[in-house]
Amino acid sequence: MVCESLQVDRQTDRQKRPQTLSSSCSRLSFPLSEHQHLRYNPLRGSWVLVSAHRMKRPWKGQMEKPPEEDIPRHDPTNPLCPGSRRANGEINPNYESTFLFDNDFPALQPDAPDPGAADHPLFQTRAARGVCKVMCFHPWSDITLPLMQVSEIKTVIDKWAELIEELGPKYPWVQIFENKGAMMGCSNPHPHCQVWASSFLPNEPHLADLNQKMHWSSRGEVMLVEYARQEAERKVRVVLENDSWLVVVPFWATWPFQTLLLPRRHVLRLPDLTSQERDALASVMKRLLTKYDNLFEISFPYSMGWHGAPTGPHLKEDMSHWQLHAHYYPPLLRSASVRKFMVGYEMLALEQRDLTPEQVCHTSGRRDLDTDT
């Protein structure tokens, strides 16, 4: 009957919905670290099963290999290095900062044909057009964002904002994302991210748009502005903070060491950030990623990406319900060699996690070896 109760809660109790589980957090009669329970993700409109007691089970499954450590600073055969030849025959410039180029193997192209009308409602297709770009953060292959200077990270942030301004007027969605480490499918050991701009609003931002709009309509507040304020007051899931930014392990986190990066003020998109806020963002990103690296004393793998208000035709619409934010999704669970697998129950029924978000903050707090330099 759990399924029925969740359905009723979603359909008939929208105003109370975000408060139901968070209020239970404060009840001493229910130790969250000992009993399984459900947590609501207001951005996706979905639930997560938390089973903290499972961390005690023995592990005899797959053990991951440690990340490669002996990476050459410059490899002429690496297509992302300065002066190297890429798959399309072009030779990279001898860049000294960031370097942006069109992806040689794009998932989206601007001139793709329209598939036409469907002949049956169960076999629908739509046109998919766009551009895919790659941005190198630094000319050295043996460096990552946490090892870069704050000023260098600020340059990356400025370039991200420029890309939103450049591609946003034409495309409804511009997704900036980084896959770090072979465990997350990164095929090249060189600091870089990807930028995919699409003619459509993808599934995840579509859900975020609907649920933030619903929250705005029902509560009269911007969901993630309210959420950041609540987390800043409660303190139990805060990983890092400064005057402009807050990093938390979200109450509804699915991945073990997942974090959410939030501005303290209401901001729609990356280009809306002030120079001071970009400086503060560069600092907090360096501190967060240093924390990740120090957690298991490896170059920590993750996928991350930015979500801001949709662009394209939406630039002319009131998108006040949106709040800029970044997601970090690291796969590791209990050590550098044991990862979380999203399989079985997670694929067929419901997302599930073992370690509670509160336990994660306690763990990272005990290993607080980060630096602002």
Q: Which residues are catalytic?
A: 192
d(CA 223, CA 314): 19
Torsion over CA: 269, 272, 274, 275 (sign): positive
Q: Is 346 annotated as a binding residue?
A: yes
Q: Is 57 annotated as a binding residue?
A: yes
Q: Is 180 annotated as a binding residue?
A: no
Q: Is 135 annotated as a binding residue?
A: no
Ordered alpha helix ranges (H), the chain: 2-12, 17-25, 150-167, 203-219, 223-234, 275-296, 345-348, 357-366
Q: Is 328 annotated as a binding residue?
A: no
Q: Is 177 annotated as a binding residue?
A: no
> Which of 164, 166, 138 is closest to 151 using CA atoms?
138
DSSP letter, residue 185: T
Place of tokens 């009269």: 220
Q: Is 372 annotated as a binding residue?
A: no
d(CA 326, CA 328): 7
Angle at 131 between CA 129 and CA 132, to 5 degrees: 130
Q: Is 211 annotated as a binding residue?
A: no
d(CA 352, CA 253): 9
Q: Is 159 annotated as a binding residue?
A: no
Q: Is 187 annotated as a binding residue?
A: yes
Q: Is 294 annotated as a binding residue?
A: no
Please say whether the beta carbons of 154 and 282 come within 8 A. yes
Q: Is 9 annotated as a binding residue?
A: no
The dihedrals phi and psi of 56, each to the nearest 5 degrees, come to -85, -10
d(CA 318, CA 45): 22
The dihedrals phi and psi of 302, each to the nearest 5 degrees, come to -170, 165
Q: In what order do the strands lie in the sheet with 259-263?
A: 99-102, 130-136, 192-198, 173-180, 302-307, 325-329, 259-263, 245-248, 238-241
Q: Is 345 annotated as a binding residue?
A: yes
Q: Is 56 annotated as a binding residue?
A: yes
Q: Is 352 annotated as a binding residue?
A: yes
Q: Is 88 annotated as a binding residue?
A: no
Annotated binding site for UDP-alpha-D-glucose, which residues? 54-57, 87, 103-104, 179, 185-187, 194, 340-341, 345-346, 352
Annotated binding site, which residues? 54-57, 87, 103-104, 179, 185-187, 194, 340-341, 345-346, 352
